[in-house]
Amino acid sequence: MKQFRPYHFPPLAQFIAAGAAKGAQSSSSATPTEDWQSAVADGYRQGQREGYEVGLDEGRADGYDAGHAEGVERGIAEGRQQALAELEQMAKPVDAMLRSLRKMKTEFRNAQRKEVVDLVGKIARQVIRAELALQPVQMLNLVDEALAAMPPTRDEVEVFMNPEELKRIQELDPKRAKKWNLMSDPALDLGECRVRAGDHEVDAGCQNRLAACMTQVRESLDATAKEDAE
């Protein structure tokens, strides 16, 4: 069976003496005012240190956020500029091709208009020749129109014509042929004639009239092409 021994507390006088000695030592080392000032200084330093650390952490966080946002914005701007530069480089061959196509289109349309004008002129000349071959007397109508366009004159009117055409007119309509002073000119082609009255002379031939008509046709086609381009 376990045996217990009674515990004896130290004498009360021993605790009193120890407390008195500790109090004397504390009172001799510092005053209450000094302890308060020391505590305030320690608290200030601790608060300053903690505030600095908190401010440093917040500054780092704010600086990171601002730097990150600025970096993202700058990266987007640089990426946009680079993309535009690359797109411009890629578009150069396409632009050159489009210019070439537009040039080809313009040249093709110009060639078409020229072919149309040439074809119309060719057909018109053939029709005129055929008509004059059947009715050469119509040349006298051209003479009447030429005289109407000339200023009035009392000078003798001379009409120069191709010899072959002149002969046929005299055979088909001798009465009208005698009305004018018809003269032969081997230098003139069929359908061509010149009317002279004093110092005035007019080309009353078909070729000159046809050229004027073809000029109007060409100008009309050019105007239409310009409107389509706009």
What is the structure's pLDDT at 185?
93
The answer to whether residues 162 and 188 touch, using CB atoms and an 8 Å cutoff, is yes
> Are 160 and 201 a contacting pair, CB within 8 Å?
no
pLDDT value at residue 21? 53
The DSSP code sequence of 89-143 is HHHHHHHHHHHHHHHHHHHHHHHHHHHHHHHHHHHHHHHHHHHHHH-TTHHHHHH
193: amino acid identity, one letter: C
What single-letter amino acid sits at 44? Y
Amino acid, single-letter form, for residue 114: K
- Count, in order, helices (H) and strands (E) of the chain: 6, 4
Residue range 118-155, pLDDT digits in tens: 888 888 878 877 887 788 888 888 888 888 888 887 88
pLDDT at 29: 47
Please give the structure tokens belonging to residue 62.
């704010």
- Please name every residue paired with 181 in a beta bridge, in sequence order, or none if there are none: 158
Contact 220, 181 (CB under 8 A): no
Give the domain ranges of the chain: 107-229
Q: Which pLDDT score is estimated for 15?
A: 47
Mean pLDDT per block of 10 residues along the chain (230 residues) reads: 50 51 48 62 64 62 66 79 80 82 82 82 80 81 83 84 90 86 90 86 83 84 72
Specify the pLDDT at position 219: 85
- Is 3.30.300 the CATH classification of the domain at 107-229? no
